[in-house]
Amino acid sequence: MRLARALGGAAAAALILFAAAACGSERQTAPPRPTPTPTLEGARPAGSRTVIDMAGREVRLPERIERVAVTAPAAADYARALGLEVVGQPSDIPAAEGARPVGSTLNPDFPAIAALAPDLVIGDAAVQGARIADFDRFTVPVYLVKAADYLAILDAVERLGEAVGREEEAAALRADLEGRVVAAALAARERRAAQSSLRVLVLTGAGRDVFAAGPATYIGNLLSMLGAENALANPPEGGPLPGFGVIDPGAAAQLAPDVVLVLPAGDGGLDTLIRTDPAWAATPAVRSGRVYAIDRVLFLRAPGPRVAEAMETLLGLLWPAR
């Protein structure tokens, strides 16, 4: 709550609001698994302990956890930030030394994970909700994180840190994140003091299938903490992700945003379309050259310990240091 105190009463109220209005998970149906999920055989090792993960599941854990496999981008970030050895990770994130590929985020390869004999598997309920039944049957304990805004990320750091016996590392990580987020928010307040509010529009999609992010999304939460105005306060329904609404590119241009942030999708090109479409030519964002393609993993797929990096990146794009 250091951020709320630093930014004053109004910001504290906003922070509470965005904690309650966190975006949900990507609505995905589970694709076919490449191989069967190993089912439980035998009892857990003696001395195991039970915790409740962030999906509300009871998970029996070994007393000591060192080696983990992760099944989602955010899970990988949490594990490494807490100093755990990651021996397996999904193939759809950048390869890392010592980590074997274990399927994709939406299609984990359970036998490959089991072959690595990790102490624990860490997954992400926000993007792997369709796999919970598989996780429940797996031979290795699975702890699911779930966070979609800043406050939930801090909670996830503490809860996972306690579960894996890394309380000191979790406390240090939380303090670092809070300090950096507070600094970014205060820097944004200072830099925007001499100008009117900045209207920011966040878009994703490809071609004419375009979707806009409202305030109740992860990136919407971060923009609000920085004091930016979301150009689409009430997104229409029908988007592929919670908090994202279908929007016609021409109608989006009529919102006259000062900045456009594009989350690339498919083959990309939406940012180029915006820069070259005559309908956008008169918008403040295009006139000032402020249409940016941003990292989809950082701002959409993996809300987690990289939240401070995300805030600092947005600060540099919206209010660069002079």
Evaluate whether residue 243 is within a structural domain.
Answer: yes
Domain boundary among 128, 147, 166: 147
Evaluate whether residue 119 is within a structural domain.
Answer: yes
294 and 201 belong to one structural domain: yes
> Six-digit token pair at 186?
């205060």
The CATH number for 205's domain is 3.40.50.1980
Domain boundary among 84, 112, 147: 147
Residue partners of 312: CB distance under 8 A and separation at least 6:
180, 184
Q: Rounded to two decimals, what is the model's pTM? A: 0.85
Stretch 176-189: mean pLDDT, rounded?
96
Evaluate whether residue 164 is within a structural domain.
Answer: no
Evaluate whether residue 273 is within a structural domain.
Answer: yes
Evaluate whether residue 166 is within a structural domain.
Answer: no
* pLDDT band of 22, cuts 50, 70, 90: very low
314 and 200 belong to one structural domain: yes
| Amino acid in position 293 | A
Reply yes or no on whether the pLDDT at 219 is more than 60.
yes
Angle at 265 between CA 263 and CA 267, to 5 degrees: 130
Please report the beta strands in 182-298, taking only residues with DSSP state E, as ranges in sequence order. 199-206, 209-213, 229-230, 244-246, 259-264, 291-293
299 and 259 belong to one structural domain: yes
Evaluate whether residue 43 is within a structural domain.
Answer: no
Q: Is 67 exposed, middle or buried (0-12, 13-18, 19+ CB in 10 A)?
A: middle
74 and 15 belong to one structural domain: no
Reply yes or no on whether the pLDDT at 61 is more than 60.
yes
62 and 12 belong to one structural domain: no
Q: What is the pLDDT of residue 39?
A: 58
Terminal-to-terminal C-alpha distance of the chain: 29
Evaluate whether residue 14 is within a structural domain.
Answer: yes
pLDDT (tens digit, 9 = 90+) per residue, 257-283?
999 999 998 777 899 999 999 999 999
Stretch 244-252: mean pLDDT, rounded?
90
201 and 314 belong to one structural domain: yes
Report which DSSP code applies to 85: E
Evaluate whether residue 277 is within a structural domain.
Answer: yes
* pLDDT band of 133, cuts 50, 70, 90: very high
Q: What is the pLDDT of residue 25?
A: 40
241 and 303 belong to one structural domain: yes
pLDDT (tens digit, 9 = 90+) per residue, 45-60?
444 799 999 999 999 9
Q: What is the pLDDT of residue 321?
A: 84
18 and 53 belong to one structural domain: no
C-alpha closest to that of 273 among 255, 256, 246, 293: 293
202 and 118 belong to one structural domain: no
Reply yes or no on whether the pLDDT at 23 is more than 80.
no
Domain boundary among 87, 122, 147: 147
142 and 200 belong to one structural domain: no
Question: Looking at per-residue confidence, does 20 or 322 come out higher?
Answer: 322
Domain that holds residue 68: 49-147
62 and 126 belong to one structural domain: yes
Q: What is the pLDDT of residue 37?
A: 64
Residue partners of 169: CB distance under 8 A and separation at least 6:
81, 82, 83, 161
C-alpha closest to that of 212 among 267, 165, 173, 250: 250
Enumerate the H helices of 148-295 as residue ranges.
150-163, 167-191, 218-225, 249-253, 270-276, 284-287
Q: What is the pLDDT of residue 196?
A: 66
What whole-number distance in Å separates Cα of residue 208 and Cα of residue 310? 27
| Number of domains within the chain | 2
Burial 185-204 (b: 16+ CB within 10 A, else e): bebbbebbeeeeebbbbbbb
